[in-house]
């Protein structure tokens, strides 16, 4: 598709097609960033669960070493909350760990609103672009003599206007697929942190 064709389709959609291209670009950037982020979070959560499982009960030194090892991860906040509350009872420690989880949750949701917006906005923009294109096409019919050539121009214009609807649906399909995938990743990460909370409390207050 050459530059002139892109300009033509942009005019047919009332200038909405370039905006949809920008929306697609932003959506792809968010998808790539979140893919990398959730991969790191879930992977580090799995390895941390394993390491917590093999740590001896009531061994604060090993937990401190674990805190240093996972310092660059999202889950380190839970270990820090537990070690800082090691003098408290299990209930108080649980509340502090729960508070640290609540502080970390916004990091999991960051950028997801972009995909949610794309799912809703892209088809609406495509539909509006198609309506604008059809208005142009019927305007051609109104200013011609109704010959077969003009009818062909109108039907061709309508077909070209539908490109905007197709583009909007494509963006929405991509966005909703990854939105569902990321929502699943968030649930996995939250489940991991809930399990870590229980494991941390048991490591400080449980019996070997």
Which tokens hold the place of 171?
């963006």
Closest by Cα among 74, 172, 156, 159 to 119: 172
Q: pLDDT tens digits, residue range 71-88? A: 989 999 999 999 888 888
> What is the four-CA torsion angle of 131, 137, 142, 144, rounded to 10 degrees?
180
pLDDT digits (tens, 9 = 90+) for 15-66: 677 888 899 999 999 999 999 999 999 999 999 999 888 888 877 788 888 8
Question: CA 97 → CA 6, 56, 80, distances in Å?
Answer: 54, 20, 9
Dump pLDDT digits (tens) for 89-125. 889 999 999 999 999 999 999 999 999 999 999 999 8
Which one-letter DSSP state was computed for residue 206?
A: S
Best CA proximity match to 137, nearest among 166, 168, 163: 163
Integer Cα distance of 52 and 22 in angstroms:
45
**What's the rounded mean pLDDT across residues 198-204?**
89
Residue 7 in tokens = 């300009």
Q: Would you call 111 helix, strand, or coil by DSSP?
A: coil
Q: What is the 3-state secondary structure (H, E, C) of 27-47?
A: HHHHHHHHHHHHHHHHHHHHH
How far apart are alpha carbons 82 and 48 in whole angstroms? 14
Distance between CA 38 and CA 28 in Å, rounded? Answer: 15
Q: Is 163 helix (H, G, I), strand (E, B) or coil?
A: helix
139-187 confidence digits (pLDDT tens): 666 565 555 555 555 555 566 667 788 889 999 999 999 999 999 999 9
């Amino acid at each position: 598709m050459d530059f002139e064709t892109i300009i033509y389709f942009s005019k047919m959609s009332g200038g909405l097609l370039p905006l949809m291209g920008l929306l697609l670009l932003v959506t792809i950037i968010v998808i790539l960033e979140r893919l990398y982020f959730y991969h790191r979070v879930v992977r580090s959560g799995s390895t941390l669960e394993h390491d917590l499982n093999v740590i001896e009960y009531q061994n604060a030194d090993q937990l401190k070493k674990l805190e240093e090892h996972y310092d660059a991860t999202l889950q380190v906040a839970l270990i820090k909350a537990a070690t800082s509350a090691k003098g408290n009872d299990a209930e108080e420690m649980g509340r502090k760990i729960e508070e640290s989880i609540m502080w970390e949750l916004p990091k999991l949701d960051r950028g997801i609103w972009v995909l949610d917006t794309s799912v809703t906005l892209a088809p609406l923009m495509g539909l509006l672009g198609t309506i604008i294109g059809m208005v142009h096409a019927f305007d051609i019919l109104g200013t011609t003599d109704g010959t077969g050539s003009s009818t062909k121009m109108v039907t061709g214009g309508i077909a070209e206007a539908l490109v905007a609807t197709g583009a909007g649906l494509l963006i929405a399909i991509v966005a909703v697929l990854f939105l569902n995938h990321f929502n699943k990743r968030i649930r996995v990460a939250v489940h991991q942190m809930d399990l870590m909370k229980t494991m941390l409390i048991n490591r400080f207050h449980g019996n070997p």
